[in-house]
Amino acid sequence: MSELTAYADQFAADNMPDEDDLPDFTYDFTELEFPGRLNAACQLLDKNMAAGRGDKIAIRTPHESWTYREIFEKSNQIAHVLVEDMGLITGNRVLLRSANNPMMVACWFAVLKAGGIAVATMPLLRARDLIPVITKAEVALCLCDARLAEELETAKAAAPFLKQLLYFNGQDAALDKLMRGKSTEFDPVDTAAKDIALIAFTSGTTGNPKGTMHYHQDIMSMCHCVGDRLLGIGEDDVIIGSPPLAFTFGLGALLAFPFHAGATTVLLEAGTPDVYLASIERFRATWSFTAPTAYRAMLASAPDHDLSSLKACVSAGEHLPLPTFNAWEAATGLRLIDGIGATEMIHIFISAAGEGIRPGATGKVIAGYQACILDQDDNPLPAGEIGRLAVKGPTGCKYLNDNRQSVYVRGGWNVTGDAYKMDEDGYFWFQARDDDMIVSSGYNIGGPEVEEALMDHPAVAECAVVAAPDADRGQIVKAFILLASGYEAGDDLIKELQAFVKQAIAPYKYPRAISFVDNLPKTETGKIQRFILRQRALNM
């Protein structure tokens, strides 16, 4: 069959990186040899119906359970709404906004079935975060949980591309009403394997966010490489996790992997330590996916819960400290499976499981991928030398209309922005981030966006934001602030500034530490020397 795109709207193709700026795409096993025509929604959902799993529970929550048939039928009804009522043209981008719940899953499948491109966003994002995402992806359609209406309505007023939006999960919600009259059958669009299925933004940054584009076959690649080869998830498993479905870590762990295996996924809208532990016990979860911060937070209460159903726990989203690894093993008898992934790569590419785990190391490159350490001139370094982590495989960076593509992709390698070293046995050992990204409790936070939010407050004359180490969160946002005339430093002003930032951007991005300074270190050309501030943050 032809591999020509199924999309009438050529926005994604028109905004792909130049061929010379794409990474090398490689693979080393036959499961990654995809046919020319492929729709990931059919591979993950419709195949379960064909396999006779219609009456099996696909999703559990603290309040409800949905079978594979219910997800299948509701996704088909939503697809009809997208096409018939919202006027979706194949290749259109559809913004999805919701916490982790069954309707979010049904909407995601519906977008792919209808030939749209899913642009999922975290529920905590504010209007200020949403506007550049909507603008850069030229999003015209949106499906949103009614509980998140306020920020979306504010964003819509300043985002001219967004024309149609429907709400769900609310009293008299329009999407819920329209679905009732639709057929539960839908003929999925015959997409090409290399049609774009989703655009995932690396963070809710203001100004010029980075949107990473992934093919339908990229979704299936992470299922084969991570879900199958690395983890071995099967149809009898029950998966639980905390990452939002808008993160590709969460998309893989809580949607793609369990649906690919015909397993059951547990979705939590609020994953506090007690709720998370109680849910493991209640639903007899066999796999856990969350960040190191969450595992640390659960340690104190873990002995109060029956966690005997767990057979494995995956840690990703930030560096896994060895003390956390050791403490979790002591509390549960389970060795955390560490992993490094990237939105640009869609999911994990270095990890180790079972007997292959080496405490303190992230792991080895997983099946399907290659990795090395590069020096500043993009030359491979020998074992034991610290340099920039570079990776290539069946997935790779495809930024949406962004000149930073040539920074991330060097000589065919995806250069992740992490400093690592590799030992003689091929294990990779994390050293540090080599950019200004702050990774706090598994969330990526861009320092410049926090600075911009702070600068809107009249008390702030100048500021700079860096990462500061934190025992519980790995890193926290720390702001150095030069006050405007007429303002006095103090605890009350710190609280005021923190509250101000929480209202301007996603609340988790606010500066948990603030220092008032008389000046900021700068170069002769006026650029702030953040490396000096990072050093100060380390010594405070």
The tens digit of pLDDT for each residue in 208-219 reads 789 999 999 999
Token pair belonging to 92: 């259109």
Residue position matching structure tokens 């992230």: 362
Alpha-carbon gap, residue 128 to 126, rounded angstroms:
5
DSSP string, 405-419: HHHHEETTEEEEEEE
Query: Residue 195 gets which letter from DSSP?
Result: S
Secondary structure element (H or E) that encloses residue 501, with its range: helix 491-504
Q: What pLDDT is stored for residue 439 in this prediction?
A: 85
On the question of pLDDT at 444 being above 60, the answer is yes
Angle 147-149-150 from CA coordinates, rounded to 5° = 110
Min mean pLDDT across 25-39, 281-295, 349-363, 518-532 is at: 518-532
The CA R_g of the chain, rounded to the nearest whole Å, is 23
Average pLDDT value for the chain: 94
Q: What pLDDT is stored for residue 231 in this prediction?
A: 98
Alpha-carbon gap, residue 232 to 215, rounded angstroms:
23
Nearest alpha-carbon partner for 257 in 291, 232, 286 = 232
Q: What pLDDT is stored for residue 524 in this prediction?
A: 55
Nearest alpha-carbon partner for 263 in 51, 58, 69 = 58
Nearest alpha-carbon partner for 217 in 19, 7, 393, 20 = 393
Query: Residue 202 — pLDDT band, cuts 50, 70, 90?
Result: confident
- Domain map of the chain by residue range? 11-421, 437-539
| pLDDT digits 0-9 by tens, 368-403 | 999 999 998 999 999 999 899 999 999 999 999 999
> Percentage of the chain with pLDDT > 70?
97
Token pair belonging to 24: 């090398």
Query: Residue 459 — pLDDT band, cuts 50, 70, 90?
Result: very high
Q: Are 462 and 527 in contact (CB under 8 A)?
A: no
Burial of 31 (0-12, 13-18, 19+ CB in 10 A): middle
| pLDDT digits 0-9 by tens, 205-245 | 335 789 999 999 999 999 999 999 999 999 999 999 999 99
User: At CB < 8 A and 24+ separation, what contacts does 330-334 make?
Assistant: 331/299, 331/302, 331/303, 332/302, 332/307, 334/310
Q: Are 239 and 257 in contact (CB under 8 A)?
A: yes
Alpha-carbon gap, residue 426 to 365, rounded angstroms:
8
Alpha-carbon gap, residue 464 to 455, rounded angstroms:
10
Q: Are 161 and 244 in contact (CB under 8 A)?
A: no
Mean pLDDT, residues 38-48: 98
On the question of pLDDT at 1 being above 50, the answer is no
- Extended beta strands in 15-131, E state: 57-60, 65-67, 93-97, 117-121
On the question of pLDDT at 190 being above 70, the answer is yes
Alpha-carbon gap, residue 140 to 502, rounded angstroms:
27
pTM check: above 0.85: yes
**Residue 143, SS3?**
strand
Q: What pLDDT is stored for residue 206 in this prediction?
A: 39
Mean pLDDT, residues 104-131: 96
Q: What pLDDT is stored for residue 3 in this prediction?
A: 78
Q: What pLDDT is stored for residue 304 in this prediction?
A: 95
Mean pLDDT, residues 462-491: 93
Helices (H), 232-385: 248-251, 257-261, 273-283, 292-298, 322-332
Tally: H helices and E strands in the chain? 18, 25
CA dist 446 to 390, 503, 509, 513, 530, Å? 21, 17, 8, 16, 13
Min mean pLDDT across 66-75, 81-90, 308-317, 449-458 is at: 449-458
Q: What pLDDT is stored for residue 500 in this prediction?
A: 96
Alpha-carbon gap, residue 70 to 50, rounded angstroms:
14
287 Cβ neighbours under 8 A, 6+ residues apart: 231, 233, 237, 238, 239, 240, 310, 311, 312, 313, 314
Query: Residue 435 — pLDDT band, cuts 50, 70, 90?
Result: low
Token pair belonging to 69: 């048939």
CA dihedral 84, 87, 90, 94 (to 10 degrees): -110
Query: Residue 182 gets which letter from DSSP?
Result: S
Q: Which of the two residues, 538 and 126, has the higher pLDDT score?
A: 126
430 torsion bin: left (phi>0), alpha (psi -120 to 50), beta (else)? beta
Token pair belonging to 282: 């209640």
Alpha-carbon gap, residue 335 to 352, rounded angstroms:
11
Token pair belonging to 49: 């119906």
Alpha-carbon gap, residue 422 to 387, rounded angstroms:
9
Q: Class assignment of domain 11-421? A: alpha beta
The architecture in CATH of the region 437-539 reads: 2-Layer Sandwich (3.30)
Secondary structure element (H or E) that encloses residue 533, with its range: helix 530-539
Mean pLDDT, residues 465-480: 92
Q: What pLDDT is stored for residue 2 in this prediction?
A: 47
Cβ neighbours, 10 Å, residue 383:
12
Token pair belonging to 438: 């702050």
